[in-house]
Chain A
């Protein structure tokens, strides 16, 4: 396994793939984390589309163009190999939210297709923050009868692993500073 491999291996192994469905249907994953830090501080970490390596532990570096203007692009170079190309679709600093989609990824790096996602920092309890990461995507294998490593379950498990790892690290960074 390449790319997010080590990070996600545990999650992939832990999930028993479901008996397989035939046609692909759009999947969704929503993960969130409560952080004991002001929303603005959390947003200053997570809100820069051009610097995902600042907070996500699987990202080695971010090759970005266009800053935080809709239409901006970034290539996430992953630790251990693999790249994900993404485009910023909406940027709403007043809501501490942005929306982006993947424009190119090898399904051996992340087994998804037609992936789009939101990241949003909301006010949480006691002056803290609640960070929500929501993804909508299809499995990587878009025809009928996918191999097990490219089925719906594999896609959801991989995305869940990415989100949980990122949010846990974001929490540690924001609360530790």
Chain B
């Protein structure tokens, strides 16, 4: 019931998502191997392994699933993968340490956090040229677009804050204090709230986007790293890096309803657009764990490559 409603909602809200075969793919950056594993999420298998560069970390799939963008912090690169041909078709160096990345549903703009440069780059998805460069807080990491609000959210790890950025105006409109060392960030589908994993305070901050302030802190496991919200907004899943678990949060009750063991050192996490499964990249386990969102348990573990990170929205659809 949840998935049917979610799918309908998704199709109504996201005209850019084609629902074609590409949407069934997950793109996993493997930091140690310098590769991207392409997972068929329906079959639960790796269908291709692509060579990339720069100890790839961040990843974002284009709204129409035609391209995938990754960051290579070790060689300061942003790379674009042609999703159909499964090859890197554009690449540039950028800033001091590109890390978090997200693609605007408008299909034209790409946002990249520069960890060492304390700024957010706005890039053209076609040319990868810089459209704007916006100062944010210190050590910006996770990036999430809230398209209907015209906002981009950036977690500033060393400032314990989240910047709400208006990319059109090229400036920060609000800076919201959160927990200690925020890293991954996600916006729920109705863009009412944002969820931020705080690595040092072992909790998730909940930001009310109307009020532009933190309204709750939900305790989770040790060293929470990244967050994914299901398409119906009912559950938020958080990777607890040092506990080798994923915490599932009931977003209405604002509490953890399940703690799910996964393979070692979970990091990147993304919900499948049909809402039935959540995919987790395990950096030490070199595998992706697949969580059934109804049973709240792991139903498959798929070997990927060394150092699976997949920090970002690595499955198409929102």
A143 within 8 A of B: yes
Asked if A23 and B284 make an inter-chain contact with CB atoms under 8 angstroms apart, the answer reads no
| Residues on the A chain within 8 Å of B115, using CB | 23
List residues 52-73 of chain B with CB under 8 A from any CB of chain A.
54-55, 57, 73
B contacts with A: majority SS: loop
Task: Mark out the residues of chain A between 23 and 56 whose CB falls within 8 Å of any chain B CB in the assembled complex.
Answer: 23-26, 28
The CA-CA distance from A89 to B244 in the complex, in Å, is: 12
**Do A25 and B116 touch (CB < 8 A)?**
no
Question: Shortest beta-carbon distance, A118 to chain B, in Å?
Answer: 8
Which of A28, A116, A144 is the most central at the interface, judged by chain B CB atoms within 10 Å of its CB?
A28
Assess whether A79 is interfacial by the CB under 8 Å rule.
no
Contact mask for chain B residues 6-38; partner A; CB cutoff 8 A; 1 contact, 0 none: 000000000000000000000000011000000
- CB pair A99 B73 closer than 8 Å: no
Mark contacts of B102-135 with chain A using CB atoms, 8 A cut-off: 1 yes-contact digit, 0 otherwise: 0000000000000110000000000000000000
Chain A residues with CB under 8 A of B284 = 28, 134, 136
Contacting pair B242 A26 (CB below 8 A): no
User: Quick check: B242 and A23 within 8 Å, CB to CB?
Assistant: no
Give complex CA distance A90, B57 in Å: 27
A89 and B222 in contact, given A25-B31, A144-B96 (Cβ under 8 angstroms): yes
Q: Counting CB contacts under 8 A, is B283 at the interface? A: yes
Known A-B contacts A23-B116, A25-B31, A28-B307; the reply to A144 vs B97 at CB < 8 A is: yes
Residue A15, interface by CB 8 Å: no
Task: Report the separation of the CA atoms of residues A22 and B32 in the bound assembly, to the nearest whole angstrom.
Answer: 15
CB pair A25 B222 closer than 8 Å: no
B75 with A22: CB separation less than 8 A: yes
Closest to B222 in A: A89
B279 within 8 Å of A by Cβ?
no
Q: Does A21 contact B (CB under 8 A)?
A: yes
Contacts of A144 in B (CB 8 A): 96-97, 116
The answer to whether B76 has its CB under 8 Å from any CB of chain A is yes
CB pair A25 B73 closer than 8 Å = yes
Bound CA span A24–B96, Å? 11
Report the separation of the CA atoms of residues A92 and B69 in the bound assembly, to the nearest whole angstrom.
40
Q: Which residue of B lies closest to A21 (CB)?
A: B74
Name the A residues within 8 Å of B242 (CB-CB): 89-90, 99, 101, 116
| Most B CB within 10 A of own CB, among A26, A89, A90, A116 | A26
B268 → chain A, closest Cβ, in Å? 13
Decide: B116 and A143 in contact? CB cutoff 8 A.
yes
- With both beta carbons as reference points, the residue of chain A lying nearest to B199 in the complex is identified as A114
Decide yes or no whether B265 CB sits under 8 A from chain A: yes
Q: Which residues of A contact B97 (CB under 8 A)?
A: 22-23, 144
With A99-B242, A116-B242, A136-B265 in contact, do A21 and B32 touch (Cβ < 8 Å)? Answer: no
Give which listed residue, A23, A99, A101, contacts B76 with CB less than 8 A: A23
Please measure, in the bound complex, the distance between the C-alpha atom of A110 and the C-alpha atom of B94, giving whole angstroms: 31
Q: Say yes or no: A28 contacts B32, CB within 8 Å.
A: yes
Q: B267's closest neighbor in chain A, by CB?
A: A26
CB 8 Å contact bits of B231-258 with A (1 = contact, 0 = none): 0000000000011000000000000000
The residue of chain A having its C-beta at the shortest distance from the C-beta of B243 within the complex is A90
A144 and B74 CA atoms in complex are apart in Å by 9
Nearest B residue to A134 by beta-carbon distance?
B284
In Å, the complex CA distance between A89 and B241 comes to 12
13 examples of A-B residue contacts, CB within 8 angstroms: A22-B75, A22-B76, A23-B116, A24-B73, A25-B57, A26-B31, A26-B283, A26-B307, A28-B283, A90-B222, A101-B242, A136-B283, A144-B116
Known: A26-B307, A136-B284. 4 other contacts (CB 8 A): A21-B54, A23-B73, A23-B74, A143-B116
Across chains A and B, which 9 residue pairs bring their CB atoms closest together, nearest first? A25-B55, A23-B73, A21-B74, A23-B97, A25-B74, A23-B74, A22-B76, A25-B73, A25-B31
Residues of B at the A interface (CB closer than 8 Å) are 31-32, 54-55, 57, 73-76, 96-97, 115-116, 222, 242-243, 264-265, 283-284, 307
